[in-house]
Chain A
Amino acid sequence: MSAGVELDHVTVRFGHFTAVDNATLDIKGGEFFSFLGPSGCGKTTILRTVSGFLDPSEGSVRIGGQDMSGIGPNKRPTALIFQNLALFPLMTVADNITYGLRVRGVSRAERDRKAQELLDLIALPDQGKKLVSELSGGQNQRVAIARALAVQPKVLLLDEPLSALDLKLRQHMRNELRAIQKQVGITFIYITHDQGEALTMSDRIAVMSDGVIQQVADGKTVYDNPDTPFVASFVGENNPFIGKVSKADATGAVIETPFGPLRGRNPKNLKSGDKAILFVRPESFALGKGAPDATLTAETISSAFEGNATHVFLKGAAVKNITMTVGRHGGAKIPGPGDKATISYDPAMGVVLAEGKMARE
């Protein structure tokens, strides 16, 4: 039913431009796997390579253990859902859904039966005779999913299919996609630049930047234990403190920053003297003093009330401000603009990584 997808040292070049650089991955059968990265990071190129529209310049793609080189997109056990859906405007909803069966020579009666089955799955049982232009964006979204599922692919590839929808619908479709994936049990490979989508839906996420896979892990690991400064700064909000490691011990590392020495975990075993970046999440900060190497004082610039929390912006050392998020329940007094604020964090919630490229804001 489902099949795993293996990328074996896949490199894709366009002229002198390397879109995907030596990607090696093992996506398990039945997994909901996301590629997350900013636009131009090579995630769509990977998708097109898996679906067969592009050939890797080096390396190979295997689906269900079978090498796919030389096999065209119409012969692969994959189905692709396009960013703009690419439904056929001159066909009815039912004809769209069963087009893959029609080109395989399936009889009209069988196609009608299958169309009804899939229309029931996507909860549009009476819409088969309509044209796609008569349905709403969210409904077309589901039609595109049904059209892809109709050919019983072993792997479903999704290229940012939710990006055209409005926020509410997008959140609703996330749950729906996840539910459909659980129901049909096939491998989903999902491309997105929206970390919220990747974190909520995926079993595992590959974070990409400039054609290189930075980290492959489940959402919680990617968020809490980023491998590179790029992952730390791209997934979720994060506050970087750049400096040199002054002390490395069993519990972590201390780096010298313009705010004094600050401590964090040291998963990469950096040594004293290494250039490093400490990342602390906005929600890890609290007002008031803490451990001496996990406390800093800075000038408040402004604050923004957001209902369930308040974001406080403090003057950072470089261009970027420090952001801290204060929850509702503490009842803490929010410092006003110009006030000096002393804030601290649990050193276990900070992470020290070797200096490297960060995500652009």
Chain B
Amino acid sequence: MSSRLFVFILPVVVIAIFWAMARRESKLAHDPTHKSFFERNGTSLGIVFILLVAFWALFLVTLPYLYMVVESFHPKLPPAQRGGPTDVLTIAQYKSFFVNPIDNEVNGTHIYAFVFSILASVAVTALNFAICYPIAYYMAQAGTAQKVRLLMLGLIVPYWVNEILRAFALRLLLASKGLINQMLMGIGLTETPIDFLGNNTGLYVGLSYAYLLVMVFPLYNAIESLDKNQIEAARDLGAPWWKIHRDVVMPYAKPGIASGCTMVFMLSAGSLAAPQFLGGPSTLWFTSIVYDFFFQSFNWPRGAAYAFILLAACIAFVMLMLRLFKVSLGETIR
């Protein structure tokens, strides 16, 4: 009970602290030309603004997350017992990820799914980068304006179709009696249909395709501002094309590469539709486990704990990668 109340008090306390700091700041460094928020907007309009922003920031963003954090530190109880003597703070939900509470054995299934999801997301990110870098480079530097517009249209229009429909379409293509297998068997490349879905080809293809734009546009933005003369200068000095990319284009586009890779990794690790529709029968994606805790077994505390484990791991991984990135950036400069 007290901890759930605490969640609602915490943002209020933070807001109060910030308000006090702002008051102190305005007293210490008084600028007579500076108009306060209410002087600029009028009292009534100012109050409306503040209430709207506060409602959005608190009730729609902050509190749901905080509530989930608190929930993840509670046991799963029937509604009648919530707030009762058994409703205590516990790390049992986090522990259950490592040790299965039913048989007290190591929770191999979930740990495996977790590691697999992370590694598969890394693979998807790498695959996506390999596909998107040439596209982005072509759009930003090589292509004529007209062709670039066509290509962009071709990239964007399929995304008007919703994600689940797209995943199903891919499933139809990749199924054992699907178009691709029929073609392969038709031209005699294979006798029996290849199980694209079972061997996770479908999963990788689906995830890469789902986040294509998320990778293309940061890369495009970064490469687009590169002076063409830089590329020509490197070429003129004798660099073959791949050294131009290694030494000139990629170091320049590093911020874009980092942002594209981070987003694709985060989104794949947290994706739900593509793994569910395109993953093999033995493939267990970590977010599917989280989903099942929430909607199958109605175990919100454990689902929340799993979700935060995934979030924390992903953030740590991305931070680590960015660190490594910076080091290599330093070496390029030196």
- Hey, which bits of chain A sit against chain B, CB under 8 A? 51-53, 72-75, 78-80, 82-84, 86-92, 99-100, 102-104, 131, 147-148, 151
Q: Are B236 and A74 interface neighbours, CB within 8 A?
A: yes
B240: interface (CB < 8 Å): yes
How would residues 229 to 250 of chain B score, 1 for a CB under 8 Å from any chain A CB and 0 otherwise? 1101111111110010001100
Q: Are B252 and A90 interface neighbours, CB within 8 A?
A: yes
Q: Are A74 and B238 interface neighbours, CB within 8 A?
A: yes
- Hey, which bits of chain B sit against chain A, CB under 8 A? 227, 229-230, 232-240, 243, 247-248, 251-252, 332-334
Minimum CB–CB distance for B331 against chain A, Å: 11
Q: Are B227 and A103 interface neighbours, CB within 8 A?
A: no
Instruction: Closest B residue to A87 by CB, please name it.
Output: B233
Which residues on the A side are within 8 Å of B229 (C-beta)? 82-84, 86
Minimum CB–CB distance for A137 against chain B, Å: 16
Minimum CB–CB distance for A249 against chain B, Å: 55
Please report whether the interface of chain B is mostly helix, strand, loop or mixed according to DSSP.
Answer: helix
CA distance A148 to B234 in the complex (A): 11
CA distance A100 to B230 in the complex (A): 13
CA distance A86 to B229 in the complex (A): 6
Q: A92-B333, A92-B334 are in contact. Are A103 and B240 (CB under 8 A)?
A: yes
Q: Are A74 and B333 interface neighbours, CB within 8 A?
A: no
Which residues on the A side are within 8 Å of B233 (C-beta)? 80, 82, 86-88
Minimum CB–CB distance for A307 against chain B, Å: 39
Q: Are B232 and A73 interface neighbours, CB within 8 A?
A: yes
Q: Are A147 and B230 interface neighbours, CB within 8 A?
A: no
CA distance A200 to B251 in the complex (A): 40
Q: Are B236 and A51 interface neighbours, CB within 8 A?
A: yes
Which residues on the B side are within 8 Å of A84 (C-beta)? 227, 229
Which residues on the B side are within 8 Å of A52 (C-beta)? 236
Chain A CB within 10 A, most for which of B234, B237, B238, B252: B237
Which residues on the B side are within 8 Å of A151 (C-beta)? 237-238
Q: Are A74 and B232 interface neighbours, CB within 8 A?
A: no
CA distance A86 to B230 in the complex (A): 5
Q: Are A103 and B238 interface neighbours, CB within 8 A?
A: yes
Would you give 14 A-B contacts (Cβ < 8 Å), ordered by A? A73-B235, A86-B229, A87-B233, A88-B247, A89-B252, A90-B252, A90-B332, A90-B333, A92-B333, A99-B237, A100-B237, A103-B237, A103-B243, A131-B333
Out of A53, A88, A148, which one reaches B232, CB within 8 Å? A53
Q: Are B237 and A74 interface neighbours, CB within 8 A?
A: yes
CA distance A88 to B227 in the complex (A): 10
CA distance A103 to B232 in the complex (A): 14
Q: Are B236 and A73 interface neighbours, CB within 8 A?
A: yes
Which residues on the A side are within 8 Å of B236 (C-beta)? 51-53, 73-74, 78-80
Q: Are B239 and A103 interface neighbours, CB within 8 A?
A: yes
CA distance A79 to B243 in the complex (A): 18
Out of A73, A83, A91, which one reaches B333, CB within 8 Å? A91
Which residues on the A side are within 8 Å of B239 (C-beta)? 74, 99-100, 103
CA distance A148 to B239 in the complex (A): 13
Instruction: Closest B residue to A75 by CB, please name it.
Output: B238
Which residues on the B side are within 8 Å of A78 (C-beta)? 236
Minimum CB–CB distance for A159 against chain B, Å: 9
Out of B232, B234, B251, which one reaches A90, CB within 8 Å? B251
Instruction: Closest B residue to A144 by CB, please name it.
Output: B233
Instruction: Closest A residue to B332 by CB, please name it.
Output: A90
